Amino acid sequence: MRSILFGIYLTSIIFWPFALFGQDTIKVTYYNLLNFPQQQADRIDTLKKILSNINTDVFVVNELTSFNGGALIKNNALNVNGISYYSSAVFYDGPDTDNLLYYNSNKLGLHSQQQIPTDLRDISEYILYYKDPNLGMTQDTTYINFYSLHLKAGSDPSDANKRTAEAEVLKTFLANSGKNTRLFVGGDFNFYSNTDLACQEILNGQGVNLYDPINRMGGWHNNAGYKKYHTQSTRQSTGGYAGGSYGGMDDRFDFIFVSNDVLYGSEGIHYIEDSYEAVGQDGLRFNEDIHIPVNTAVSQDLANALFYMSDHLPVSLKFAVGGTINVSENRLNFNLFYKPNTKQLSIVSDYEINNLNIIVSDINGKIIKIIDQRNIRESNWSLIGLPKGFYIARVNANNKIKILKFVIN
């Protein structure tokens, strides 16, 4: 008897190989600067050293304390050593510490900005546009939405409730304004786990879904299993500028979340796979300093600068924008589907898939199963034993990413 296939099919035509022409790569970096520019006068030299290594196009900061600090960053850390193309948004002195965005004006322009107030700190919206050299031909300006957040710190239930309320403010704003594409939502979120209500609100609230580009959801706090992704604290006990938190690297507080279209390139920009990083995180330390023992991800000079500058690490990613895609006639056609009668995840392809990665997560973003295979055209994987519920399979086939949603009954 023929099995009846049920579920949501993922039918994808992946054009491979392909070449990109006239595209720009944009690098985005978010960084909690820890009450900048307070205390030591040479902090700006330390930041200059970090930024010269990162070489970013969009730089978004938290914990800026003054207009003068914002000007100092632009004039003494970014526009240095013959560089003069960085511009900034307007600094707004809101309650508590503030945000600011800087951008490479050779590639990008500032379309608009606004503050979104919460009970603690403002959330900042910055809308940039890409200066497409082919705009006269395409007649289609690409606008990109950036949001800078610094949610309430602390592990008390009252702190968690305030984080959730702040997250709801952002997601309600996005839903009411109809903004759900080309979204970059970053900053210091102070999440301890993806099950935090505030984290769930950022990911799934108000019908506007956001995604972690590296899909590393879990209980990050004081969990050595996530040490490769921790962003705080760069200091184990003492040292560094402006005080901050100690205890060593054991929390993932800093994120850049993106909308679905950014991951899959459906709205003119496309996240570059494997470009997401916590700068200086080598995955070799847990509850230790970022610079001791020797850091294998960056130079010792840069590791020292990260230690002194802030108790947080900067987080970065890259995306491609502009240009055209020249597609060859070689096409990879595949179906991914769920078989409820046998509780199997299955894939069938017209051509060989050289590199296949599937990450199956539950509705809370917890990773349930990781599948890595090479040189296949069809295969099946058992999901027997998983509890009933809604699941998401994130599929990377020959560097093209798609999503399959299915239900286990």
382: domain CATH number?
Answer: 2.60.40.3080
Yes or no: say if 88 and 74 are a contact pair by the CB < 8 Å rule.
yes
Residues 107 and 93 placed together within one structural domain of the fold:
yes
Are residues 90 and 226 located together in one domain of the fold?
yes
Domain span holding position 389:
10-17+328-408
Domain boundary among 269, 289, 324: 324
Give the pLDDT confidence score for residue 323 in this predicted structure.
63
Contact 342, 3 (CB under 8 A): yes
**Rounded to whole angstroms, how far apart are CA atoms 280 and 102?**
21
pLDDT at 329 (0 to 100):
33
On whether the CB atoms of residues 285 and 248 are closer than 8 A, the answer is yes
Q: What is the Cα–Cα distance from 260 to 180, expressed in whole angstroms?
A: 9
Boundary-marking domain end, from 303, 324, 345: 324
- Stretches where the chain sits below pLDDT 70 are 1-22, 135-139, 323-333, 399
My answer on whether 317 and 349 are in the same domain is no
Residue 3 lies in a domain: no
pLDDT of residue 394: 84
Q: What is the pLDDT of residue 238?
A: 84
- Tell me: do 151 and 243 sit in the same domain: yes
Residues 383 and 320 reside in one and the same domain: no
Q: What's the pTM? A: 0.77
Number of domains in the chain: 2
